Amino acid sequence: MEEKIVASNIILVAKKHNPAIATKEWLLEKKVFTKEPISFMNTEDFSAYDAGDLLLTVNPVQLVMQTKNAPSMQNIQQMGEHINLYTSNLTETPYFAIGLNLHWKIEKTKEEDDLSNTLKKNICCNISKVEEMLDTKSFRFGAKFIYPFENTMLTIELMPVDVSGQFTMAMFNFEMNVKKTVKANSISLIQIFTANLLAYYEKSKIILDLLICK
């Protein structure tokens, strides 16, 4: 099996974002972005800023910063820097939670006859008994893991192999509560989260390699 990261985004949830604030002029003035956008939209309920390699969208519920192409470690770090610049200029917004999503694609190699069977055997040691109980080998198999990792809650979803049998997807979500507390404000909690983005990326790769027995 071969894996590659194909998508990533950061989602910042608030009680009420104000998309109308995120005009092109404001984003450039506050140095959230330093280059003119490829395209831009700004209304009371929705704003979007296409920076070429990154896309920012804001609605009243959430802000999303995403990579537009297969992300690199540099892109992931840049997303965090943009989030920090945005939130440090809007410190009164009641932020609730922040999350990093990493989507990995797992493809079968030429040496593998059936990716689904390989994953079944790697993850479930009693797969033959499961097949016997179901009276079939023709079923698609996935897995979900949820556990606390450092200051986040990590959710991992390994999707069933595509019907083509050629690939599957593994989704990682690192989520952190950033509600203001007596000991810390939301901005400092967001900065703690964004400072660890590359650590979360490395953790996802280590776990993925273990899951597929690489």
In order along its 214 residues, the chain shows pLDDT tens digits of 789 999 999 999 999 999 999 999 999 999 999 999 999 999 999 999 999 999 999 999 999 999 999 899 999 999 999 999 999 999 999 999 999 999 999 988 777 667 777 776 666 666 666 667 777 766 677 888 999 998 999 999 989 888 777 888 999 999 999 998 867 899 999 999 999 999 999 999 999 988 877 6
Rg (CA), the chain: 20
The whole-angstrom distance between residue 183's C-alpha and the CA centroid of its chain comes to: 27
Distance of CA 107 to CAs 1, 2, 69, 167, Å?
6, 5, 18, 4
Q: In what order do the strands lie in the sheet with 95-107?
A: 39-42, 47-50, 54-58, 62-67, 2-14, 95-107, 167-177, 152-158, 143-149
Distance between CA atoms of 169 and 143, rounded to whole angstroms?
11
Question: Could you tell me the pTM of the whole model?
Answer: 0.89
Residue 26 DSSP one-character state? H
